[in-house]
Amino acid sequence: MDTNPRTLDDEKTINDDFELRDLATGVTLCGKYRLELEAGKGGMGVVWKAWDAIGERWVALKFLPQGIRHSESAMAQVKSAFHTVQALNHPNICPVYGLEKDPAFGYFVVKKWLEGQPLSELQLPREEILAVLEKVAEALDYAHSEKVIHRDVKPSNIFIGTDGKVTLIDFGIAANLHSENQATQGQFASSGTEKYMAPEQRSGQLQTAQTDEYALALVAMELFAGSLSPLAFRKVAPEIQDVLETALADEPAERFVTCREFIKALSGVVRPEMLKFDPTPDVKNDWLEEIVAQGRFLDEVKRRTEDEKQAVRVKFLEEKIQSLYQNERYEEAILDLNVLLKLRPNDSNAQYLLQVCEDKLEEQKRTIQEQINLENREKLRQIEREQEAAQLEKQRSEEIGLAKKNNKDAAVPFGSKEWKLFETIGNVLVFILTAIAGLIGLYCLVAGIACLFLSDGPKFQAIFQGIIIGGMGVVYLIFFWWGLRSLFGGKK
């Protein structure tokens, strides 16, 4: 099952909601959800087990508090958060089916009904702690990758099914859930369970994935130590304490980057012999619970010397800086080196590495800028080549157009092979005609002279014939002269 009365023990009981007084076994909501039994009641709502007649499955119906159901602004945030949570699809996250509204009882969330028990009700063998935490870490990292923060990680929200499957439930839809990169009031809201809250969550500051990591570290501490008592925690192996203290750092930036990285570090130090101890504190005092409730737990847990605590932080920063440097993430490495130098101002190695990272970062920026400049130059050259090609094409088009304009009336284009052939044939014909004209002219001239001086007929007739025939000869000779001039440029 998803939620039951014991699951919500650590939340304050909600005031009697008169609108929900008529909820009872057998009542049907929205025409398809038949109520079976009340499974839980807490500060963020009432939960009923119901049978979904349409989907033919058992579901959990979570009725939102009266103050949220009747607030338009609150419901707007709930609906936005619902769609975000509904989109999560991970084997270790409880599926959310829908957000319904019944005319009589108002809004409620429909979730998968799980058979099993919450981690808060189980005596989990220590050998199984890491396996359970690993599944929770995978679910949280997936949610964080989708920009969703749980904000209420605790044993009662970690469900162990009858088949042993680990499921993370209650992503705080009614607690104004918002995505990680939205600086809204919902993101700064102090939703969650007080004794598992990170310092930034308790003070209403920005909440990130490291907020969930902090709560998961407290759950791990409780599982390993048996309780959140500082005295019980001191019985845990120092190696485990070192890893937990990193995940429980006051500053989110000093914690592990991801939840799986935290569990991986924890798995790397846990050995079987470390799990064999009596977690019961030597002394049981009420003031211990008060310390936890007031958020001063870490102040009591971290009783080590300042040098020991600093050594843990320095080791973590050195490993993180080394990883960042190897991955050429120089800008982030510089930020962590500055933090390291605040802890150890005289660390010459850190100072040297800081200078190296700054030089590498500048070189990296120059390389990027040079690459950008090279790409820009190549783009300019390409543009110039395209402009030159366009200009040549334009000139060619203009020349072709001009030639067409000059020869639009010519049967044969001027200067072409056909034109030259016709010109040659014309010259030959002119030459032949010129030669014939010359021969005829000479013949007529000679005939005319002969008529003048050798004719036996009347004198007048001989003179007339000689002048006519001689004149024709002169005309033909003129044609002959013109033909020669045309062929040879005026030269005879």
Tell me the pLDDT tens digit for each residue of 65-102. 887 887 888 888 888 888 888 899 999 999 999 999 99
Query: What does the pLDDT read at residue 136?
Result: 97
CA 258, CA 213: separation in Å to the nearest integer?
Answer: 7
Query: What does the pLDDT read at residue 248?
Result: 93
Instruction: Order the strands of the 33-42 sheet from edge to edge.
Output: 28-29, 33-42, 45-52, 57-63, 106-112, 96-102
Query: What does the pLDDT read at residue 171?
Result: 79
Hey, which bits of 21-56 come out as E strands? 28-29, 33-42, 45-52
pLDDT in tens, 155-211: 999 999 999 999 999 876 644 433 333 333 343 344 678 889 999 988 888 899 999
The phi, psi pair for 277, rounded to 5°, reads: -155, 160
Query: What does the pLDDT read at residue 327?
Result: 85
Asked whether the beta carbons of 89 and 112 are under 8 A apart, the reply is no
Query: What does the pLDDT read at residue 159?
Result: 95
Query: What does the pLDDT read at residue 16?
Result: 56
Structure tokens at 50: 């119901």
pTM of the model: 0.56
CA 246, CA 316: separation in Å to the nearest integer?
Answer: 8
Asked whether the beta carbons of 192 and 203 are under 8 A apart, the reply is no
Query: What does the pLDDT read at residue 184?
Result: 37
CA 472, CA 440: separation in Å to the nearest integer?
Answer: 9
Low pLDDT (below 70) residues in the chain: 1-17, 42-44, 172-191, 276-309, 404-416, 419, 452, 454-463, 465-466, 469-470, 473, 476, 489-492
Planar angle of CA 158, 163, 169, nearest 5 degrees: 20
User: In terms of DSSP bridges, do strands 96-102 and 166-168 run parallel, antiparallel, or are they unpaired?
Assistant: unpaired
Query: What does the pLDDT read at residue 234?
Result: 76
Asked whether the beta carbons of 288 and 294 are under 8 A apart, the reply is no
Q: Could you give the 3-state DSSP secondary structure of residue 33?
A: strand
Query: What does the pLDDT read at residue 313?
Result: 78
DSSP one-letter code for 42: E
CA 254, CA 245: separation in Å to the nearest integer?
Answer: 10
pLDDT in tens, 449-478: 777 676 666 666 666 766 776 677 677 677
Q: Which residues in 108-142 are b (16+ Cβ under 10 Å) and which e?
A: bbbbebbebbbbbeeeeebeebbebbbbbbbbbbb
